[in-house]
Structure 1
Amino acid sequence: MDRQTGDSGTLPPINFFDLQAQQARLRTRIEQRFSNILDHGQYINGPEVAELEAALAKHTGAKDAVAVGSGTQALVMPLIAMGLGHGDAVFLPAFTYNATANAVLLASATPVFVDVDPDTFNMDPENFAKRIEDIKKRRNLRPRAVIPVDLFGTPADYPAIMEIAEANNIQVLADAAQSFGGRQGNRWVGSIAPVTATSFYPSKALGGYGDGGAVLCDDPEMADMLRSIRWHGTGSDRKDSVRVGINGRLDSIQCAIVAEKLTIFDDELTRRKEIAAIYESRLKGLCRLQARPDNTESGYGLFTVAVEKDRDGVRARMQEQGVPTAIYYMNPLHKMPAFSEFPSSDGLPVCEALADQVISLPMHAYLSDAQAHFVCDAFEKALKG
């Protein structure tokens, strides 16, 4: 078989994500879901919310799940529940999406940026420990929480990070916006850390048709507090505010969509892993593949590699061959104007280097083997200039 043409002679266009193919698979069921919601009329807090929360908890092994309005809310609300505020330091990698830093600031805490490991692209535990000591010496902030980010689908090194956090009385909130379906040891993402935030943005491996997210946790008191916070901090009667809260609700329609997508998630994850296996076997030695901590499996929310020379040229040459790519992320957080008042004392060299090197390849469950091989052929050709 010709890798570039496949069995049928001509490959269909390669999409970076493919929500249309997935929608075709589920459309009839989702339309029935819409009809059911129109019939019962509970557009907010309908039965679909509890259904999704129970399904998420069962799927991940978490003790509870709380559906919220976005992935950012899934980060902000646990920080509020933890009682963080002015003078509290929250450690996070600088090589990630800006929502993680925004969440810290929205909770009135202070972000402290940590460098990442050059192989896993995730938070470097050694640099995390160093940042803690830096903050203790400065004495102007209290080390209170850490947000490891599971970048591109690969869980962070939680055994090392949680050991450091426990030794310093620091709470752990996992940012799993890209890693749903990943696992570490015998724990799925959602049950690895005490509290985990995830996103249902449409392009995520488990996404809705709008904004949405969830918090997974192992503490019933935390879950109860989150349910209060998402409804403006009201008590069980929803009349009086018992704490500061926000409108953090996820509507019934989005819960129904995500619940329906969850029924095919394992099948899609299997396919993502098959595509990743093709990429890894073909690209090994051509670029730096993202490494994984021991006993860790990726959820392959994205498939990202590091190209040390002419990344942008490689990307342009792949586009000429009909292969779309993306860059996550072009600028580390400590270099962004909004976060310029939170610089690192000695720089974050790995974050800065990766921002010039990473390139994400098409990754979704509806790529054919022939398309995956064509992506690899295009990548190899693009490297040669």
Structure 2
Amino acid sequence: MEFRDLKRQYEYLKSDIDKNIQSVINSTSFIGGEMVSHLEHDLAAYVNVKHCITCANGTDALQLALMAWGISEGDAVFLPDFTFFSTGEVVSAVGATPVFVDVRTDTFNIDINSLEEQILNVKEQGKLNPRVVIPVDLFGQPAEYDEIRRVADKEGLFVLEDGAQGFGGRINDKKTCSFGDISTTSFFPAKPLGCYGDGGAIFTDNDELAELLRSYKVHGKGINKYDNVRIGMNSRLDSIQAAVLLAKLPVFMAEEVENANSIAFKYSEELKEVVNTPVVLNLYTSSWAQYTIQLTNQETRDGLQEYLSECGIPSMVYYQKPMHRQGAFEKNGYECNDDMFSNTKQLCETVLSLPFHPYMQDDEIDIVCCNVKKYLSSV
């Protein structure tokens, strides 16, 4: 059993993927070109924003957004304590200070009360200038953007949506990657919409920001890449990755998000009596980057993971260590302690992500659920 079966997906889409890749090879246009322009148009139309700017990966997408706003030393950027390292890494990369915020235990997303407390703490300390909040659409579900926007507007903060795991999710009919002043996503192969290497994209309705982002991603170019008007970076999506994504996007829109939600529902129906299953808020739709359960304690979680492995069932722990405990942030310059992040601490000790992808069969779901129940009935 695969944790996320990309082989099965490829077999289903093989004809279109192979055709698109061969088209790029025949054209010998490997960077930029028609495939990339076509993809940017289709992604912007799907998300319903004016501009989509593709780039090399989701981490670069976040950093480019911060660069476009001029975020730098002395600025505070607020982000969840329970997320992947890159969300905080990019803040430090531009010289700013990441300020971590606790999350909800039911949705795994940023906790509004904790966000407000951390903003107040920064203002009271008086060392940093609050500038940006980066909500993460963790495991596929959008963050609570109405409340986040309320806080951001009150405090004068930019909203940078990290939709790396959330592409395809919705609140009502509004899609993920349309909630931020700038929004980003990742096309890492295991993401809801993934390519066959690294890739990312940035979304915005702001014309000036879009122009800046296109400059920053190609060495700070002016009228062309040999006219350099600012210090940028080299972050371009290659044409073969665009070809793969163009083949996948129609099926992602028409089938995969719906299939993922159907599979998640089956998992939850089978497991709701024995573990804490993921909560999706009313009027929210998740794209289910991961299906993540919570056990009662770390010993039970670790035991279940070991048992599943013995049964040939892969599982993953996202995430084992809170962001504020990462060694890279030891000299962060912002004072915090474990008491600020009780929910994150609990999640790091109890979460377990089960095999999940839009091509799972009912018998595979049954095998996973039966073994989860079997183990838990014995402890």
Instruction: Give the TM-score normalised by structure 1.
Output: 0.94
Structure 1 position 335 matched with structure 2 position 325: yes
Structure 1 position 321 matched with structure 2 position 280: no
In 1, Cα distance between equivalents of 2:341 and 2:296: 17
Q: 1:149 aligns with which of 117, 133, 136?
A: 136
Structure 1 position 344 matched with structure 2 position 331: no
Structure 1 position 362 matched with structure 2 position 355: yes
- Give the conservation status (yes or no) of the 8 Å contact 1:278–1:373: no
Question: Residue 340 of structure 2 aligns to a residue in which SS?
Answer: coil
Distance apart, 1:93 and its partner CA: 0.5
In 2, Cα distance between equivalents of 1:118 and 1:23: 35
**Which is richer in helix?**
2
Structure 1 position 295 matched with structure 2 position 287: no
Deviations 1:303-352 (A, max 9, x none): 11111231000111122222211110000111111112235244311111
What residue is the counterpart of 1:186 in the other structure?
173
In 2, Cα distance between equivalents of 1:290 and 1:340: 32
Question: Residue 282 of structure 1 aligns to a residue in which SS?
Answer: helix
**Residue pairs, 1:180-329, within 5 angstroms:** 180-266=167-253, 267-309=255-297, 310-329=300-319
In 2, Cα distance between equivalents of 1:154 and 1:307: 20
Distance apart, 1:248 and its partner CA: 1.0
**What runs of 5+ residues in structure 1 fail to find an aligned partner?**
1-13
In 1, Cα distance between equivalents of 2:363 and 2:18: 32
What residue is the counterpart of 1:7 in the other structure?
none
**What runs of 5+ residues in structure 2 fail to find an aligned partner?**
none
> Which ranges of 4 or more aligned residues in structure 1 deviate by more than 3 Å?
none
Structure 1 position 137 matched with structure 2 position 124: yes
Q: Indicate the larger mover: 305-314 or 334-343.
A: 334-343
Q: 1:99 aligns with which of 86, 91, 105?
A: 86
Deviations 1:195-254 (A, max 9, x none): 211100011110011011101112122111111111111113222222221001111111
Question: Residue 66 of structure 1 aligns to a residue in which SS?
Answer: strand
- Give the conservation status (yes or no) of the 8 Å contact 2:17–2:248: no
In 1, Cα distance between equivalents of 2:279 and 2:78: 22
- Give the conservation status (yes or no) of the 8 Å contact 1:315–1:382: no
CA RMSD of aligned residues (A): 1.2
What residue is the counterpart of 2:163 in the other structure?
176
Aligned AA (1:335):
R
Q: Indicate the larger mover: 371-380 or 74-83.
A: 371-380
In 2, Cα distance between equivalents of 1:21 and 1:208: 14
Aligned AA (2:100):
F
Question: Residue 33 of structure 1 aligns to a residue in which SS?
Answer: helix
What residue is the counterpart of 1:74 in the other structure?
61
Aligned AA (1:106):
A
Number of residue equivalences: 372
In 1, Cα distance between equivalents of 2:307 and 2:224: 59
In 1, Cα distance between equivalents of 2:157 and 2:49: 21
Tell me the percent identity.
38
Instruction: Give the TM-score normalised by structure 2.
Output: 0.95
What residue is the counterpart of 2:368 in the other structure?
375
- Give the conservation status (yes or no) of the 8 Å contact 1:315–1:325: yes
In 2, Cα distance between equivalents of 1:305 and 1:218: 36
Q: Indicate the larger mover: 264-273 or 80-89.
A: 264-273
Q: 2:27 aligns with which of 11, 15, 40?
A: 40
In 1, Cα distance between equivalents of 2:162 and 2:242: 20
Q: Indicate the larger mover: 267-276 or 137-146.
A: 267-276
